[in-house]
Structure 1
Amino acid sequence: MWRCCGCCSRNTPNNHFHPTILYQPPTMLLDEDPGTLIHHTIGNFNIHPDKQAVTRINDSLSTLQQSRDLRIREAESSLRKLSRHLHSLSAQHEEAEAVHDSGKHAAEIVELDTKKFRIAKAASELEIESERLESELEMLKERLADLEAQGLEGDEATRREREMDDATILRLKIFRSLGIDIEPDEAGNFNRAVIRNSRKGDVHVVNIDPKFSRFFYSNYFWSTMQG
């Protein structure tokens, strides 16, 4: 249906029309009751898997919430322990600062440095003395080796020098060359003579008595050797 839009009064041709759609009330397409249709439509939906999924999600959320609460409690417990430890350390630090004497500490450091220097000096001196003693020990070892190589009577030059200076050794040497050995007793006194006669192969032992003179024993020794 066509209807004038009102523009005819503005000197427009009378044949100017605009198309206009007329309102028509809706008509019922189905004869069934809407409630019955909705009820049948709901029956066609399968919502059981969705309900199970929602249940699982709720269980997971509950488990996560419990785990989160447990972690929060553990974190709070650790925080309390750390707070107590921090408080204890702070108290100790404050106490140490209260009793700390910087001047006394510096004096102790100086004293320790002095002791350290003295100990280092003593150690150096001991090391030098040790080296000197080691050198002296090596010299003594060499001297001992020389003496052991020479024997109890020493080397030939030493023995000659000692024999020249010791009249007793010279006399014993003379007696020995004549075949007479003078033997000392436990006290070191020469009071026994062993006379050997090489021609006869005889051996005479004479105990020297101080009451007889040296002249007597000289003649006796000579006569025995000549025997």
Structure 2
Amino acid sequence: MNNTPSEDDISTLIREVGSQFQRSGADLQALQKTVQDLGEIEKVRSEMLQDARSVLQDLSRTVQLTKAKGSRKHIDVESVNHDNFMIKMDHKKFAVAQAIQDMDQSITSLEAEIHQLRMESLGLDSTRVIANGASARAGKGAPQSGTDKDDYDEDDIIDDTAHAMAVLRLQLYRGLGIEMIENDLGVYSKARIRSHNKTDVHIVKFDGQLTPYFQTNLIWEFAS
């Protein structure tokens, strides 16, 4: 029996298939909608993938920060204590420097006040000397002994004021544990510094080998 389709059968089959495509307009619209839905799904998946990458980057940064914080916890405890001690000493040094600056201002103010008082005293002494001289010339009395002794000039007052200021500064330094030492010529050539706890004694020489800034910091460090 011959099962090979004839040309008429093939033509009929083609017409039937063509008629099916012509009658399937709704199916074509459904296919287009499916393609459109697939495009939207692909877009949503791309956005989700981008969001996932952003989240992954954030997590990676969080992990790096956590590792960094964890490594800091392994820092030597003695190093941390040393840093805290140095910060505390720096604060104390600045406080002492501020106190010294305030005292210097007070000394300067007192110096001006002492100078003014001594100038007023000089004026009173001069007035008294003139009055005594006038009385002597009028025959109402004789010049008192010691008049020349009261005849001071302004240079003497300035010298006395500078000396008083120097004494105040030395007392201030001594109160901070700093003792100024003179050489054979009477010049302050070094300082003996006792630490705050009175257990250590250091000597700083003023021989010009160190800058004044470094000498000052060194003295405050020894005195702390």
TM-score by length of 2: 0.30
Q: Which has the larger radius of gyration?
A: 1
Q: Name which structure has the greater RCO, CA cutoff 8 Å, separation 6+.
A: 2
